[in-house]
Amino acid sequence: MFSDKIGIFLDRDGTIIEDRGYLSDPEGVCLRPGVKEVLKQLKAQQCLLFLVTNQSGINRGFFTMKEVQACHQRMLDLLEEDENFFTQFCIATGRPEDNDPYRKPSPKFILECLAKYHLNPDKCWMIGDRQTDVQAGINAHIHTIFLSQTERLHEATACCKNFYEVLDTLERYGVLSKLDKKD
């Protein structure tokens, strides 16, 4: 039996925070425009938020899991939230050539979260700025939003230029009730 919760799966780099390449310094963490307001509105509507991120820099020796966690803490500080803001952090550490079963576009993290939290795939969304993010969502049989200022991805359920458009899209698809937006 499914819960009535909505699951929102979010990529990190280029989606929630600016993509700075192999980020290991928390001082380099910068939220993308609209992220803070939109994520707080999603939480206010009782959505479960999941961070799903590929961090191959760990296996490449560029940084450690401790440094990734420090960057996540900085992100939470900027969001003015604690570690419970995200229902779960899903971090794939393998390189593309490692065949890491958790690395996007694999849906393994998403599928495990769907099962663990009894989420209905029809009520869940993957939001990301890369084709691998969208493909992970498609592979998990959930809806997808491709986030890009300049590109469109026809496989995605929807394409948005920014997080405010993400909120509008979720409202348009009936996922969320109409919300008061701040200008």
Residue type, 8: I
pLDDT, one tens digit for every residue, the chain (183 residues): 899 999 999 999 999 999 999 999 999 999 999 999 999 999 999 999 999 999 999 999 999 999 999 999 999 999 999 999 999 999 999 999 999 999 999 999 999 999 999 999 999 999 999 999 999 999 999 999 999 988 999 999 999 999 999 999 999 998 887 555 444
* CATH tag, 7-172: 3.40.50.1000
CA distances from 31 to 58, 119, 135 (A): 22, 27, 24
Q: Is 77 a catalytic residue?
A: no
pLDDT of residue 67: 98
Catalytic residue status for 122:
no
C-beta separation of 124 from 107 below 8 A: no
Q: Spell out the domain ranges in the chain.
A: 7-172
The reported pTM is: 0.95
> Which is the catalytic residue, given 13, 25, 100, 180?
13
| Catalytic residue of the set 11, 19, 98, 180 | 11
- The kind and range of the H/E element at 8 are strand 7-10
Per cent of the chain over pLDDT 70 is 97
Among residues 35, 31, 99, 39, the alpha carbon closest in space to that of 71 is found at: 31
